[in-house]
Structures are given as structure tokens and as C-alpha cells.
Amino acid sequence: MELEELKEFIYLIEDVPTLDKMPRKTLKDKGIAGPTSAHFIEETHTPLNFKCLTFTTGTSSFQNIVGILEEEIIEKKKATLKIFDILDIKSNDKVLITYPPLTNVFSKEALEEREVVWSFLEKSSRDALIYEICKNKPEVVVGESSFLRVALEDAKKTGLIKIFPEKLKFITAGTSLDLEFLEVCKNYKGFEVHDLYGAQEFGWICLDGVPLRGDIELIKNDKNDFCDLILGGVSTGDRFLINQEGHVCNKNGKIITYSKERVELEYETIILESPVKNI
């Protein structure tokens, strides 16, 4: 075989791609094409069995990479659609997401199925948030509660709060609920605050202290009135106060998600059933 014949043979095999033929997934493909002040954008080789890659927020440790499988999107989508039903978020409602990676927790697929119009800030700043709320009048704003609180306080000082929509749903996520944000919102009759707890690894888990999924277990530990939260037999690494008097945003929610403590848990997990067959 001549060398040129070998080269010709190499390029005949189409299931082994060259670099320019490899599939690529952009921020836009993932539905998270918005700026943040905490990231840079980097191309990476991602295993084909992953739907996408994302990262934990790093609020309690270093950011960890998370590979999301296609099968996981199904449960993420179910939980998100349940949130939308509970909060009466409808088709064509405008949802402003202040931290683009949160879209991975919702999953782009759920946002598309409900046909909401989601968008991001032009810049990752409080001024940009105030501007977007005043200009585009979203029905829903999703973000970290302390960031939202300070933005509302700034809007009041500048007088721009008068241009805000009369009705606005704030969904706080990413960090524990800032209770002072609730007090700020009480001054505005049409403002609602909801506390969303979840993780990049699992998707959304609780809304206002109420579980969004049926595979959640709360396991008592040696700390009074606190329980470890287990999801699908896997520890989330989070521990919460369980209070029968209810969550501050919903008296029916018994999981006090703003009391979160990070713990290292080593529960033994026994798999009782699996779709995998022994061939």
C-alpha cells in the first residue's frame, strides 16, 4: 500500500471525525448564553454519553464539574414544570434569570416545553438588573436573594422602583434565602418571593420547603430536629431543620431550606431494582 493510498483510506472512515467535524455545543445550545462575573468560557472534550457539562456553584467548597446524562433531563424537566404549575407561570411569560448557569438546573427542555421567554442580564450587575426589570417588565425574576435584595434597595433609593411592574414573582436560588429580602418585598403589594432549593447534580428538589420529587427521603441524625436529605438513594450532602410550623414562604413546607448545613455523609445504598439486565 502506498502512503497516499493510506491517507485516502483514513478519510474514507467517516465515523472517526477530524476536529472540524466534531459535534460542538455552545452556551446558546444549552440555553445559558448570558454573562457572569464568576466564569470564563472554555472549550472542552466532553464524553458522548453526557448531555452537557455544568458546575456546582461553589458556595460551600470548590466548584465541581457535573456531567448530565440525557436520562437525568427527564426528572429535571418534571420538577421544573411542577414549579411552573404551582406558581402559575404560563406560556409567553418573561423569565429573567440573573445567573445563567441556573438554566442548567431548570433544563432548557422544560423552559421550551412551557414556552416561557427566558433571558439574561446584559451585564452581571445590580444596575443591569434594575434596567432590565424596568425596560422589559418580566413576570418572573430568578436569582440569588441577597443580590435581589440589594438591587431592590438601590431601585428604591434611585426612585426607579416606581417603574417596576406592579406584579413580580421572585424565585430565589443558588444560595440560602436571605430573610431580609422578604422584609423588603413586603413593602410592595404585588411582589411574591419563593425559595427554590436544588443542585446542578440533581435539579430542583424543594419549593418553599415542599418536595418537588417523590424520591426524597429525610433521615434523622444526631442533631435535634435536623434531617439529612437523600435523593434517589444518594446523599445531597445537605442537612435541614424540619419544622412543623412551616417554611417562611409556605406554612405547608416543613423543610426549612434556609437552615442548610453541609455535611459529609456515607450512607450505605442498596440497589433493589435496575433497568440493566444481566446478559
* 268 has a pLDDT exceeding 80: no
Q: In whole angstroms, what is the distance from residue 236 CA to residue 198 CA?
A: 9
Least confident of 40-49, 143-152, 156-165, 263-272: 263-272
- Return the domain boundaries, the chain: 3-262
Let me know: does 171 contact 145? Beta carbons within 8 Å. Answer: no
> Which whole number is the average pLDDT over 46-73?
83
> Which whole number is the average pLDDT over 185-207?
94
* 86 has a pLDDT exceeding 80: yes
> Which whole number is the average pLDDT over 252-257?
96
* 223 has a pLDDT exceeding 90: no
pLDDT at position 201 is 85
* 200 has a pLDDT exceeding 90: no
Query: The domain at 3-262 falls in which architecture?
Result: 3-Layer(aba) Sandwich (3.40)
pLDDT at position 62 is 75
* 26 has a pLDDT exceeding 70: yes
More confident residue, 126 or 10: 126
List pLDDT tens digits, range 153-172.
Answer: 999 999 999 999 999 999 99
User: What backbone torsions phi and psi does residue 275 show, to the nearest 5 degrees?
Assistant: -75, -10
Mean of pLDDT over the chain:
90
Q: Provide the 3-class DSSP secondary structure of residue 195.
A: strand
Nearest to 83 by CA among 179, 202, 171: 171
* 113 has a pLDDT exceeding 70: yes
| pLDDT bracket for residue 60 (50, 70, 90) | low
pLDDT at position 265 is 67
Let me know: does 171 contact 207? Beta carbons within 8 Å. Answer: no
pLDDT at position 58 is 65
pLDDT at position 137 is 97
pLDDT at position 278 is 61
Q: Provide the 3-class DSSP secondary structure of residue 71.
A: helix
**In the chain, what percentage of residues exceed pLDDT 70?**
95
* 279 has a pLDDT exceeding 60: no
> Which whole number is the average pLDDT over 110-127?
96
Q: In whole angstroms, what is the distance from residue 253 CA to residue 185 CA?
A: 20
* Predicted structure pTM score: 0.88
Let me know: does 244 contact 218? Beta carbons within 8 Å. Answer: no
* 74 has a pLDDT exceeding 80: yes
* 275 has a pLDDT exceeding 80: no
Q: Which grid coordinates are listed for 170?
A: 421572585
Q: Is 38 exposed, middle or buried (0-12, 13-18, 19+ CB in 10 A)?
A: exposed
